[in-house]
Amino acid sequence: MTTRASRVLAAAFLAAGAVSIVPAATATAATSTPCAIDNPQLIKSPDADELIDRTGFSRTQQLATGKDVVVAVIDSGVDVRNDHLREAVLPGKSFAGGKDGRVDTEGHGTAVAGIIAAREVPDSSLVGGAPGSMILPVRVYDTASEQGKARPSAKRTADGIRWATSQRVDVINVSLSAPAGVKNESLLRDAVAGAVAQDIVVVASGGNQPEPDKPLTADRFPAGPPGVIGVAAANDSGVVGAWSVHGPQVDVAAYGSSVLTAYLGAGDCVLDADTNAPQTSWSAAYVAALAAQLRERFPQETAAQIVYRIEATADRPVAGTRDTEQGWGFIEPYSALTMTYDNDRPGPPVPGQVGPTEQTSKVRLTPVVATPDPRGPGRNTLLWWAIGALGLTGSALVLRPWVGQMVDVRNEPYPGRRRRGDRSG
């Protein structure tokens, strides 16, 4: 892929590497101009336009915008003060305090929602990949950096996925990632399996590598289970490097750096510009946007068929082979929306067919070698939870007990939603 480096504006949330007991590091800007919260700015420029155009969504939006598709964002909530998102966000639910999912003190969920569904507004280049879709915010943590807050946990994330499933959404995006063996991993597995069984497209970040000089291949969840699209992060050149965790959970790759999206308050922000650490949170959101477009354009297709379109049309070095770095390759939105089924197409098997397992299946790594704790002994009873790409350039390290509240999945589906199986015509 050609290099499309842009130098517009950079922001830093918090680093998305892992969790530990040390206090959170101060977020630092990737350049000398951080994104403003008190004085939010819209970004409009040829460079900013290019950041949107390079994703391919400007072209595919002539075919589909994700209209009437609901995407659940399992994250830190969404700030609806942002004009790009004011009309794009449903009330949702919070498992981390507050009335519903329409509040975000961290900024991560707002950025993810902006990548997926930001509406076009005057004086801004930003438009989401699926600007006709609706975001259902499911707030499962309050912050990843401060003590005494609701931090990410496997149980709370699983509760959020289960609730989103009960609402009969079309797509679930989880820009969070935990290592194999994390406490309550079984809850994550069960929650994801339940969503897949209900014909929901589930997209999850493949995980960030907190130590770029030490490439890591490992299982990650919830990206790992069958049926989930696990996403790696590519840089501005479309290359996946040591910043993105490698492993069987990786199915495709998308841009994870120089990402123009919505920010806290009313502003825009370019995340992770001028950095060597693209973030899988942002790359997962691009794939969720593509899934939303596909669900609109092909309403009769199953979630498995939507996943197949994304994987089969991805750009890869060898047509019939996947690898642990970028899976089936870098997403190609236009090809996914215009593909015709061909049983002889090299790549993943067509849904319903029995295909090769060595190159196509998500095979769990055995054994999984634990990553040594770089901060020393004394924490062997503590578990690492990596925010799948909090997409920031500082370092956010947090430790917490894995607590979360139970969720009643007997709630009625979100008003106005319909099951895919109920569609006719």
Rounded to an integer, the average pLDDT of 379-404 is 33
Domain span at residue 39? 9-342+357-402
User: What pLDDT band is residue 352 in, cutting at 50, 70 and 90?
Assistant: confident
pLDDT per position as a tens digit, 16-62: 332 211 111 122 223 334 576 777 889 999 999 999 999 999 999 99
Could you tell me where the DSSP H helices lie in 253-329?
280-297, 303-312
C-beta of residue 224 within 8 angstroms of C-beta of residue 248? yes
For residue 240, what are its two tokens? 């996946």
Domain presence at residue 99: yes
Who has greater pLDDT, 182 or 158?
158
CB 219 within 8 A of CB 368: yes
Write out the two tokens for 377: 């002994």
Q: What is the pLDDT of residue 386?
A: 40
Q: Is residue 281 annotated as part of the catalytic site, yes or no?
A: yes
Asked whether the predicted pLDDT for residue 361 surpasses 60, the reply is no
Cβ burial of 398 (10 Å; 0-12, 13-18, 19+) is: buried
| pLDDT band of 294, cuts 50, 70, 90 | very high
Q: What gap in Å lies between CA 402 and CA 155, rounded to an integer?
A: 7
DSSP one-letter code for 217: B
pLDDT of 349 strictly over 60: yes
pLDDT over 90, % of the chain: 58
Nearest by Cα to 399 from 381, 382, 375: 382
CA distances (Å), origin 278, targets 60, 174, 195: 24, 17, 28
Annotated catalytic residue, options 6, 20, 75, 246? 75
Nearest partner of 266 among 405, 119, 131, judged by Cα: 119
Q: For 315-329, write each residue's pLDDT tens digit.
A: 999 999 999 999 999
Which pair of structure tokens corresponds to residue 153? 């946990």
Per-residue confidence at 213, pLDDT binned at 50, 70, 90?
Answer: low
- The mean pLDDT of 264-286, rounded to a whole number, is 89
Reported as a single tens digit per residue, the pLDDT across 152-179 is 889 999 999 999 999 999 999 999 998 8
Average pLDDT of 369-391?
35
pLDDT of residue 214: 56
Euclidean distance between CA atoms 197 and 324, whole angstroms:
25
Active site residue 84: no
What is the secondary structure of 92-113 as a DSSP string?
-EESSSSSSS---SSSHHHHHH
CATH number of the domain at 76, please. Answer: 3.40.50.200
What pLDDT is attached to residue 24? 17
- Say whether pLDDT at 394 is over 70: no
Residue 149 has pLDDT above 80, yes or no: no
Residue at 39 is within a domain: yes
pLDDT grade, residue 64 (50/70/90)? very high
Return the sign of the alpha-carbon dihedral for residues 199, 206, 221, 21.
negative
Provide the pLDDT for residue 302.
Answer: 98
Give SS3 for 304.
helix
E strands, 76-164, in order: 93-94, 134-139
pLDDT at 346: 92
Q: What is the pLDDT of residue 421?
A: 45
Contact 227, 303 (CB under 8 A): yes
Q: What is the domain count for the chain? A: 1
Report the mean per-residue pLDDT for the chain. Answer: 78
pLDDT at 405: 27
Q: Which of the four pLDDT bands, split at 50, 70 and 90, describes residue 210?
A: low
- Does residue 2 lie in a domain region? no
DSSP H stretches of helix in 18-120: 46-53, 57-60, 108-117
**pLDDT reported for residue 409:** 29
Q: For this structure, is 246 an active site residue? A: no
Per the domain annotation, does 413 fall within a domain?
no
Q: What does the block give as tokens for 370?
A: 């634990």
Please say if the pLDDT value at position 279 is more than 90. Answer: yes
Say if 416 falls within a structural domain. Answer: no
C-alpha span between 257 and 206 (Å, rounded):
15
Burial degree of 183 (CB within 10 A; 0-12, 13-18, 19+): middle
* Best CA proximity match to 35, nearest among 15, 16, 51, 12: 12
What local confidence, expressed as pLDDT, does residue 209 receive?
82
**CA 326 to CA 217: how far, in whole Å?**
12
For 291, phi then psi, to 5°, come to -60, -40
Distance between CA 209 and CA 386 in Å, rounded? 9
pLDDT (mean) for 395-424: 35
In-domain check, residue 243: yes
d(CA 173, CA 45) in angstroms, rounded, equals: 29
Distance CA 197, CA 56 (A): 30
pLDDT above 70 coverage of the chain, percent: 72
Q: Which of 6, 124, 166, 281 is catalytic?
A: 281
User: Which are the contacts of 102, defined by CB distance < 8 A and separation ≥ 6?
Assistant: 77, 78, 79, 80, 89, 91, 92, 137
Residue 69 in any domain: the answer is yes
Residue 56: both structure tokens together: 């391919």
Between 78-92, 94-108, 191-205, the lowest mean confidence (pLDDT) is in 94-108
Domain presence at residue 281: yes
In terms of residues, how long is the chain? 425
